[in-house]
Amino acid sequence: MTSPPRTVRPEILDELPPTDARAIRSRRDLRRVNRVMGSCGILSRAMRRALASSSRHGPLRILELGAGDGSLALHIAARLAPAWPAAELTLLDRQPLIPETTGIAFAHLGWTLRLLTVDVLEWARAPTQRQLTGRWDLILTNLFLHHFEADALRELLSAVADRCDIFIACEPRRSLPALLGSRLLPALVVSRDTLHDAVVSVRAGFRGQELSDVWPARGAAWVVEERPAGLFSHLFAAARGDAV
Ligand SMILES: C[S@@+](CC[C@H](N)C(=O)[O-])C[C@H]1O[C@@H](n2cnc3c(N)ncnc32)[C@H](O)[C@@H]1O
C-alpha cells in the first residue's frame, strides 16, 4: 500500500505566544510525548554512535535547531556528559523559551549554554562568517524538520551540511502506527491543541529515504543513514567520512 504524500499544515503551538496558558500546557504535553516516543534515547544513541569515531579533543560544539524549552537537550546532555564532560551547546528557536533553571542545570553538567532566538531560515540564509561559530561538530533536531515544505527543507539542510560534521534528526514517522498513536494521545490526557498538532505532525512526517533525497550530497563524502526508530519515529543521520 502506498502512503499518502506529506502534507505540511500550521501547528497551533507555533502560533501561540510563549507565555499563553495553552502554549505552556502544550509544551508540558510535548515533554510527555517525547518520553512516549523515546526521543531522548533515540537521539542519544545516534549521537554516541556518530561521536564514537570523532577525533575531536576540545569541547564539543553542538547546535540544536527548534530546541523548544530545552528540556530534551538537557536529558540528552545528562546522558552524554560522562563521556563528553565539556561541550558548548547552542539552542536555536524562534521563540525565547529556555527557563533560567535549565541554564543552571546545563552549567551543573559542565556544559556551556548559548541561546539563539532566530527563525531557522534566517539562520540558514545568513553568511557562514556571520555565524556564532564557523563549524559545529554536531547539529541535532527533534520534531522540527517536518514543519518545512520540500524547498525550505532543501535550503535548510544545505546550510546544515555546510556548517557541521554530523547531523542527526528525529522526526515523526508518516506511518499507520504513528497516526494511530497520535489518535490515542487522549489516553495521556493531553490538550486538544496537542492532539491537533500530533496528527498534523505525523501527516507532515517522513518515511523511506525522503530526507536522504533532499540531503545535499555534493562536496564532502557523507555517510547517510535513514530508518524507522522506535514505534513512531524516523531517524536521519549524516556524518562526514565514516563517522556514522
Ligand atoms: C514541535 S516543537 C519541538 C521542540 C523540541 N525540539 C522538542 O522536541 O521538545 C517545534 C519547535 O520549533 C520551533 N520553530 C518552529 N518553526 C521555527 C522556525 N522557522 N525557526 C525556528 N524555530 C521554529 C517552535 O518554536 C518549537 O519550539
Residue 199: the pLDDT is: 94
Helix axes of 21-37 and 71-80: crossing angle, nearest 10 degrees: 40
Residue from 8, 118, 144 whose mutation best tests the ligand 1 pocket (most atoms within 8 A of CB): 144
Q: Identify which has the larger pLDDT, 223 or 133.
A: 223
Whether residue 44 has pLDDT greater than 60? yes
Q: What is the pLDDT of residues 156-167, one digit of tens each?
A: 999 999 999 999
Whole-prediction pTM: 0.94
Q: What is the pLDDT of residues 195-234, one digit of tens each?
A: 999 999 999 999 999 999 999 976 568 999 999 999 999 9
Share of residues in the chain with pLDDT > 90 (%): 82
The pocket around ligand 1, CB under 6 angstroms, is made up of 14, 30, 34, 66-68, 72, 93-95, 119-121, 142-144, 147
Query: Among the residues of 17-149, which ranges form H helices?
Result: 21-37, 39-52, 71-80, 100-109, 120-125
Instruction: State the pLDDT confidence band at 244, using cuts at 50, 70 and 90.
Output: very low
Residue 134: the pLDDT is: 67
Atom of ligand 1 nearest to the CA of 141: 6
Residue 53: the pLDDT is: 74
Q: CA 65 → CA 140, 179, 180, 244, distances in Å? A: 6, 24, 27, 20
**Nearest alpha carbon, ligand 1 atom 27:** 68
Residue 197: the pLDDT is: 95
**Nearest alpha carbon, ligand 1 atom 8:** 142
Cell of 48: 554516541
**Nearest alpha carbon, ligand 1 atom 11:** 66
Q: CA 241 → CA 31, 54, 132, 166, 244, distances in Å? A: 34, 10, 24, 10, 8
Residue 181: the pLDDT is: 86
Domains of the chain: 20-240 (3.40.50.150)
Distance between Cα 144 and ligand 1 center (Å): 6
Distance between Cα 151 and ligand 1 center (Å): 18
Cell of 189: 490526557
Burial class (CB in 10 A: 0-12, 13-18, 19+), 127: exposed
Residue 217: the pLDDT is: 72
- Mean pLDDT (the chain) is 92
Distance between Cα 28 and ligand 1 center (Å): 14
Residues listed for the chain = 244
Instruction: State the pLDDT confidence band at 109, using cuts at 50, 70 and 90.
Output: very high
